A and B are shown apart, each in its own frame.
Chain A
Amino acid sequence: DQQVKQNSPSLSVQEGRISILNCDYTNSMFDYFLWYKKYPAEGPTFLISISSIKDKNEDGRFTVFLNKSAKHLSLHIVPSQPGDSAVYFCAAPRGNSGGSNYKLTFGKGTLLTVNP
């Protein structure tokens, strides 16, 4: 049972345009979401996060939107640059009684290609 879904395996955009990466989740207990960027043969790099008490979080060219009623979030990259070409993972942590965030559940990722 995949609790975090990224239904688009790949996305191709032109440099300077907007990239929109989507993520859906099924577990209503998730209350914090993260986006990671990953290059081949490297570990994921944290990009941006959002708490369920917000519907938007912005950091430079990256904005994440959260629609709790639809259990949907999206990552917007504006403007897209060739260096943004990577696999993007959406993830949700599950805390335990200790309360910390770990045990990330990842989507399968979306390969973004930004063409010059």
Chain B
Amino acid sequence: KAGVTQTPRYLIKTRGQQVTLSCSPISGHRSVSWYQQTPGQGLQFLFEYFSETQRNKGNFPGRFSGRQFSNSRSEMNVSTLELGDSALYLCASSSNREGTEAFFGQGTRLTVV
């Protein structure tokens, strides 16, 4: 069974640009969540999608958005990039059952210059 796949692995963008990151969950998993990891803040929840609907959102500005497609694949978008958006962005997929763990992809390392 293939794991969670995130593309691209690495990305360099300039301040003010926008970026789209992609995540393909484990087959059969309908919940996809996104996290930002930075050295100072650790792993922070961005948002979660289930059946193409955003069910939960973390405390991030509106520049961070996402969506989920009918095949459960998800994308997150960051507009008007700032230097502070440089981070490892992680996607996790899970089934919708209680007591189940989330499986993470390898992440996309975004560097904003």
* Partner-B contacts on A (CB < 8 A): 32, 34, 36, 41-46, 49, 51, 89, 91, 93, 95-96, 98-109
Contact = CB atoms under 8 A, between A and B. Distances in A.
Contacts of B43: 44, 89, 91, 104, 106, 109
A105 B45 contact: yes
A92 to B, nearest CB: 11
B107 A41 contact: yes
B99 interface: yes
Given A98-B96, A103-B33, A41 B102 contact: no
B48 A103 contact: yes
Contacts of B90: 43-44
Contacts of B48: 102-103
B106 A43 contact: yes
Contact of B33 (A41, A42, A96, A102): A102
Contacts of A44: 43, 90, 104
Contacts of A34: 101-102
B1 to A, nearest CB: 14
A34 B102 CA distance: 9
Nearest to A106: B43
